[in-house]
Structure 1
Amino acid sequence: MSLAELYIQPFSVAEWIHIDGFTDAGVNLIAAGLAVIVFLWLYIRTARSFRSAASARLERLQSTLALYCRAAGLLREEADDVSDAVILLLEECKAAPLMTTELLELIDAYLQERDRSRLHQLQRALDREINHRIHEQATIIRTLDSPGWGISFWKMLKPAIPFAALAALLLWSIQLYDGLHEPTTVMASSLWTSIALWSRYISSLAATLSLYLVIMETRRGESRVIYQTLSLLISAVALLHFIGLSFSPYILILQLILFLCGFSLTRKRSRRERPYPGHEDFLE
């Protein structure tokens, strides 16, 4: 066969690779191989990101502690007469990577008034913050260098969570496709069934993503407990789908209400609502 005849004749990729010769076992083997490749790629990438995130957190902690410890030491040495060097160091502390809002306000209040009572409040706040950061730094180092059996097992298991979430999303998509292509769903009278199927799909996606974020997110701060509780509730509500498909729209509405509640429960307090420097909350 000449080259010209090859271009003229219709070309079939299926005939070229003899795809008709593939059996169900061969297709399953290819799918399993692709799944293993995706799993390994996600697992290695996630494990590296966890390690780099912990190292970056340690660097921020060390930088912050270096500034805080220098400032606390100089404030003790020069309690009677604070020099310009200490003032300059306090200004540097305001740019610390892990500076908190309360400590920043205490530093600003002292720099503006230069009052002895403000100085004592600032010293106590610095000591609390230093102890807190030292404890956090020790915990991260212990987790990285000498973790216990439970932490080691969790560190081995956690990088597999992204693949599990991806598999769950694929499962919900297949479930939606099968439901929409059932003979009873294709009929015009099954509009409510289609709405219920889409509601179950969106609800399952929201539950999976919420649970994924709870497991993978390393959120810190006062809103952590509220954030995790709401996310777990959104995920747990999805279990009500076992009751029946007809309840799916109401379950989705309940999840939406929980999601909207998060805006009011996790909002940042205004300056008037937060304890001011010298308030009894700071003196405890």
Structure 2
Amino acid sequence: MTSVDQLNVEKIVKKSGTSFYWGMKFLPEIRKRAMFSVYAFCRVVDDIADNSGTIKSKKIKLNDWKKKIDSVYQKKKINESILKELKTSIETYNLEKRDFISIIDGMLMDVKKKIQFPSKTEFELYCQRVAVAVGYLSIRIFGLTGHEGKKYAYSLGMAFQLTNIVRDFKEDLQIGRCYIPHSKLKKYQIRKNISSLDKTKKIQYVLQDILKDADMFFKRADEISKNLDKKKIVASELMKQFYKKIHKKMFKKNINIKKKVKLNFFDKTLILISFILR
């Protein structure tokens, strides 16, 4: 019987309308429940960083989540549905506390200052925190605990995040953010100017550079996946197909920056059918 806590967590995942939901649906019930708890956690802390509020209030809320995660690992009494479901996931799959903290630290990077033209080091750290750490939690739930599994999670996390950065480029500019590393702009002699960046013709070269990096990570994940248990990576491989399709709609094309690339019903249906028949 599905608990109230499970239903509350699943509601958060469904409401987000994420492609990850479809990947999770292919998991056995117990693993799906664990993934839902992790995704719901990610959704809640991400919303804190992105929604309205003062920098101070957002910092307080995110640091409160660090304390909440700490309380789960210290086996203290908890009341929230997400925490109860996370407790079950952590105990069942031996999820590492540092990955949850890393995700929160990534959100804090967004809150403490609007990230604009980061250094290569800051950029990689941000991607590792907000994307790769999620991958590390996910592969444990999938049943992969070896070094190859971590390499696979790293490659997929980077591929997904780089694709997101290009897809969300215009949206991020509108809220004063730009995750494109300064080195990428410098390569094409583009000035660091948030207000005019989307009107600069050379920005297409920069976006394609990032998509080329994403393509490299996708190919690396493809290669690593050949040596992994196919039954354990069904969900991540489906998610990869969704992201590859988004990537394909932008890679080696003149991107319409004003219009966010999305997958329509036909795209999703075709991916699902192809995946099932593979």
- Provide the TM-score with structure 2 as the length reference: 0.28
Report the structure number with the largest CA radius of gyration: 1
- Provide the TM-score with structure 1 as the length reference: 0.28
